[in-house]
Amino acid sequence: MHSGALRSQFGETSEALFLTQGFVYDTAEQCEARFKGEDPGFLYSRFSNPNISMFERRMIELEGAEAARATATGMAAVTTAILAPLKAGDHVVAAKAMFGSCRYVVEDLLPRYGIQSTLVDGLDLDQWQKAMRPNTKTCFLESPTNPTLDVLDISAIAEIAHKAGARLIVDNVFATPIWQSPLSLGADVVVYSATKHIDGQGRCLGGIILSSEAFIAEHIHNFMRQTGPSMSPFNAWVLLKGLETLAVRVRAQTETAAKVADALAQHPKISRLIYPGRADHPQAALVKKQMRAGSTLIGFEVKGGKAGRVPLPQRAADLADLEQSRRRQEPRHPSGDHDASAADAGGARRTRHQRGLYPLLGRARARR
């Protein structure tokens, strides 16, 4: 939790915020040495910063990697990890079940630069094998996938990739480093959207690429330095705070997800439920092999599709009716208690605002 901590001369307990564009040098020679990489100090926050360095170091320890680079967003991490090592004429194989923006990068963006791509059913190892070409340089997958929650065999796919001379990049965002360690399963690179579990509280955006020292130094370091998809120092500091509670939050969310999944599995309006932590998951045996728990996401289908769901406006209208009924049942205060009644009503209104009830009521009335 405290790996890589950098304290100022004041010896603060919590990490300080280093909100600075650049840094001061004792001499012009020291400045030159910093830019050449001969002096280990910080030089410019697009290149390096104490907050970003601390976040990277803690993620390295958590993931079991050798090196890392933090990025502005999860998609910056995915795009950089895939694109930076490639050139025109190279080929990428990716599992077709993936986040829409990732699919855009593989299917749309890469071909613009002369990089070919092939999408396969990630669950079918034969398709991975047949898709490999002499110019295949990268394989990419998510596991569990977004949003279908398929669990792909990372070890087997890594073996196929390595035999073809390719690297395997794994987006581990749904599993989190708490429940899955792709590098130990044979993956070469792991990427995260730190926006999700790592922050976990909707405060900021971020991403990170983790791999070997050689991969980061050869392919990622200079690409990021020159193109600038860097994380801000403030976001790095917020994410450091998120890491302090990551394990606690993910374990609690996983426990809750398992209970919700069990309840939904018995619901008469649910036709199909997918949760990696259940024995009825299609890849349950693989989950036990490569994950330490089912993680925090649940997928399900409602009988009748969209027609079988309960629309939000209907739910809001029901809430509005309940609110009106409650008001009719409230006791009326004598005129002498008018001030107290007004104060009570004001408190009730504030409570209902805090619960988010009034926005729903407003939408319901607007639709009537």
* CATH for 256: 3.90.1150.10
The count of residues in the chain is 368
Please give the tally of structural domains in the chain. Answer: 3
3 within some domain: no
**Is there a single domain that holds both residue 276 and residue 356?**
no
Task: Provide φ and ψ at 242, rounded to 5°.
Answer: -65, -40
**Is there a single domain that holds both residue 213 and residue 272?**
no
**Is there a single domain that holds both residue 366 and residue 255?**
no
Range of the domain at 298: 247-308
CATH number at residue 194: 3.40.640.10
**DSSP character at residue 14:** S
**Is there a single domain that holds both residue 273 and residue 357?**
no
Neighbours of 259 (CB within 10 A): 10
Q: What is the pLDDT along the chain (368 residues), one digit of tens a residue?
A: 667 788 888 889 889 999 999 999 999 999 999 988 899 889 899 988 999 999 999 999 999 999 999 999 999 999 999 999 999 999 999 999 999 999 999 999 999 999 999 999 999 999 999 999 999 999 999 999 999 999 999 999 999 999 999 999 999 999 999 999 999 999 999 999 999 999 999 999 999 999 999 999 999 999 999 999 999 999 999 999 999 999 999 999 999 999 999 999 999 999 999 999 999 999 999 999 999 999 999 999 999 988 877 666 566 666 677 667 767 776 665 554 444 444 454 554 444 444 444 444 344 444 44
**Is there a single domain that holds both residue 117 and residue 191?**
yes
Q: Using DSSP, state whether 9 is helix, strand or coil.
A: coil
d(CA 198, CA 200): 5
Is residue 358 within 8 Å of residue 352, measured between CB atoms?
yes
**DSSP character at residue 337:** G
359 within some domain: yes
Q: Which helix (H) or strand (E) segment is 169 a member of? A: strand 167-171
**Is there a single domain that holds both residue 74 and residue 215?**
yes
92 within some domain: yes
**Is there a single domain that holds both residue 168 and residue 48?**
yes
**Is there a single domain that holds both residue 155 and residue 84?**
yes
- Model-level pTM greater than 0.85? no
**Is there a single domain that holds both residue 156 and residue 299?**
no
**Is there a single domain that holds both residue 170 and residue 98?**
yes
Identity of residue 151: V
> Of 243, 266, 296, at which residue does a domain stop?
243
d(CA 248, CA 125): 35
d(CA 33, CA 73): 30
